[in-house]
Amino acid sequence: MDEIFDCIVIGGGHAGCESALALARLNKKTLLLTISLDAIGFLPCNPSIGGTAKGHLVCEIDALGGEMGVCADKSAIQIRMLNRGKGPAVYSLRAQVDKQTYHNNMKRTLEENTNITIKQAEVDEILCDGEKVCGVVTSQGEKYLAKSIIICSGVYLKSKIIIGEYSKESGPNGFLRSEKLSDSLKNLGIQLKRFKTGTPARMNGRTIDFSKLVVQHGEDDIQTFSFMTENPPQNVKDCYLTYTNEKTHEIIKNNLSRAPMYSGIIKGVGPRYCPSIEDKVVRFADKSRHQIFLEPEGLYTNEVYVQGVSTSLPVDVQKQMYRSIEGLENAQIMRDAYAIEYDLIESTELLPSLMHRKIKGLFFAGQINGTSGYEEAAAQGLMAGINASRYMDNKSPLILGRDQAYIGVLIDDLVTKETNEPYRMMTSRAEYRLHLRQDNADVRLTGIGREIGLVSDKRWEKFQKKQQEIEKIYNILNTKIKVEQLKDFYIQQNESVPTTSQTLKMMIKRSNIDIFDVNQKFHFFDEFSKRALEYVNTEVKFEGYLKQEEEDIQNFKKQENMLIPKDFDYKKLKGLRIEAQQKLDKIRPLSIGQASRISGVSPADVTILMMYIKNTR
């Protein structure tokens, strides 16, 4: 008998986990099909969550009611805040996690949800009834029916592991690959292309001389990924810093003819912002060394991840190369570095809801859309799960704007701009990043998560309590302090002494004074949480910049709100260049704002389109 579900999620990686949980929490009967149960929530590359801009994504996932932040906090063995010297807009939380613990925690969370059925099976075919999906067929001939399907296949579609001249048709870390799903997508008229990514070797920590390396400690008393985490992670492991050297580079240069990406064995396009070490040596020939971080894979293993030395060089060259690095002279490789090629779709074929433009009910999320990274995948998975649920309920999709979230920036880039290489989220991609900080992700998005039904009563109650704290803090900031009481404090903080009384808010606006300095002196804020105080401190210090950014956002929204008819015929609009006609017809932007971000569409083209829309109105 055919089994019937509301939605089928294909793939148990970070996108698949968030999709399945979002659907289940929205009371949808969900089937999660994965090639291996051991691959659920697995981290095949870095043993970490977060990092520059990626930390923002994790906090946003959490604010909307997702799981990645909760799981990362439970599994963390070291936590740090990156970009401390660059201002709060780009502060980025990063955690080293125990890979096995993360997998176990995420798998258990899925297993305990009664709306989720988990099955280890490979999907061979997507079934459609006309222009709508209706089910899947597995390699063992089982048929499952559903109203919607989310494909979160990661790097598994016809994937190939490459090390030197050796190659193997395999998924990452020795998992099986997906053999026939690519062909099924092609048969549905979906365009596929080929990307490549890679991972460095894992070393036996017992054979590394850490005494030669620079230790990187974790930080205490900093924010967590999840707003719901009561007990912050403990820093129980250190990372270490070392560098490549001229000998390392010489070994690589002497063996470039054996490097698959230079010999022509690798056909897929690799990531620009996370290149292999051989690519770094060639592209940055003027640099005498490159930074390497040694990261523990977990508490119960000696495996160490060598971040910064991803490669697909032959194993004999890998051994020479790694042992030329200070501290690794006698290191034993436990897992060889490798490159992996895989199929993916052209993400501009998707709507901003992540549903395919031509096949109703078929959603895509994660690396199959051309992204790299766990966090980007999880963010898409969450949104695909939400929108698949809303599709089945005949509700309009949830589409976050570029002014609302990094998630909005990510998805808009994917569906609007062609990804010619694996896409990585960076703070520089966000136009309004002072508004899109980590510390205000809950303020920006928890209300939205509550409205769609993903934010629990407990989370909502905690959020409201923080909002009440913030309101009280702002009221206290109007308190005035007499000059006589300020003199010593201002001198101590290396600030010029004022001539009149000062409000607490005026004091915090000073360069060398923050809300914690003020509280240490006057104790007005002892009762309030650190999260609430940090939020207010940033909002007050950057008040002028935030107001200017808010004006920019309002101008941005004017174009975003100028909608283009779905059936608009760009070929009939006189004055548009042929390239613009073709690009607009391919992407089918929903608004003037989205049209303006399409590569190949000039400001003049946008002006012509905007004038026509206005006149039509």
Quick: pLDDT tens for 197-218: 999 999 999 999 999 999 999 9
List residues bridging with 405 in a β-sheet: none
Q: What is the pLDDT of residue 269?
A: 81
Integer Cα distance of 42 and 482 in angstroms? 58
* pTM for this prediction: 0.95
356-389 in b/e form (b: 16+ CB < 10 A) is: beebbbbbbbbbbbbbbbbbbbbbbbbbbbbbbb
Integer Cα distance of 354 and 472 in angstroms? 40
Integer Cα distance of 356 and 349 in angstroms? 6
pLDDT at 602 over 70: yes
3-198+342-452 CATH fold: FAD/NAD(P)-binding domain (3.50.50)
Q: What is the pLDDT of residue 1?
A: 53
Q: If you average pLDDT over every residue of the chain, what do you get?
A: 94
Q: What is the pLDDT of residue 430?
A: 94
Residue 464, Cβ neighbours under 10 Å: how many? 12
Mean pLDDT to the nearest integer, 585-591: 91
- pLDDT band of residue 19 (cuts 50, 70, 90) is very high
Q: Which helix (H) or strand (E) holds 70?
A: helix 68-75
Where in the chain are the domains? 3-198+342-452, 202-340, 461-543, 561-616
Q: Among 2.70.98.10, 3.30.420.40, 1.10.150.570, 1.10.3470.10, what is the CATH number of 561-616?
A: 1.10.150.570
Integer Cα distance of 134 and 142 in angstroms? 14
- pLDDT band of residue 617 (cuts 50, 70, 90) is low
Distances (CA, A) of 501 to 78, 480, 497, 535: 44, 6, 10, 25
Integer Cα distance of 114 and 121 in angstroms? 20
CATH architecture observed for domain 461-543: Orthogonal Bundle (1.10)
Integer Cα distance of 63 and 192 in angstroms? 33
Of the candidates 21, 419, 8, the residue with the CA atom closest to the CA atom of residue 411: 419
Q: What is the pLDDT of residue 272?
A: 78
Of the candidates 13, 1, 5, the residue with the CA atom closest to the CA atom of residue 378: 13
Least confident of 35-44, 271-280, 451-460, 468-477: 271-280
Integer Cα distance of 150 and 131 in angstroms? 16
429 CB-near residues (< 8 Å, 6+ apart): 53, 409, 410, 413
List, for residues 351-410, the tens digit of each pLDDT value: 999 999 999 999 999 999 999 999 999 999 999 999 999 999 999 999 999 999 999 999
Least confident of 87-91, 177-181, 325-329: 87-91
Least confident of 273-277, 303-307, 346-350: 273-277
Integer Cα distance of 55 and 61 in angstroms? 10
Q: What is the pLDDT of residue 327?
A: 97
List, for residues 156-173, the tens digit of each pLDDT value: 999 999 999 999 999 999
List, for residues 110-148, the tens digit of each pLDDT value: 999 999 999 999 999 999 999 999 999 999 999 999 999
Q: What is the pLDDT of residue 513?
A: 92
Under DSSP, is residue 3 helix (H, G, I), strand (E, B) or coil?
strand
Q: Among 3.30.420.40, 3.40.50.300, 2.40.30.260, 3.40.1440.10, what is the CATH number of 202-340?
A: 2.40.30.260
pLDDT at 275 over 80: yes
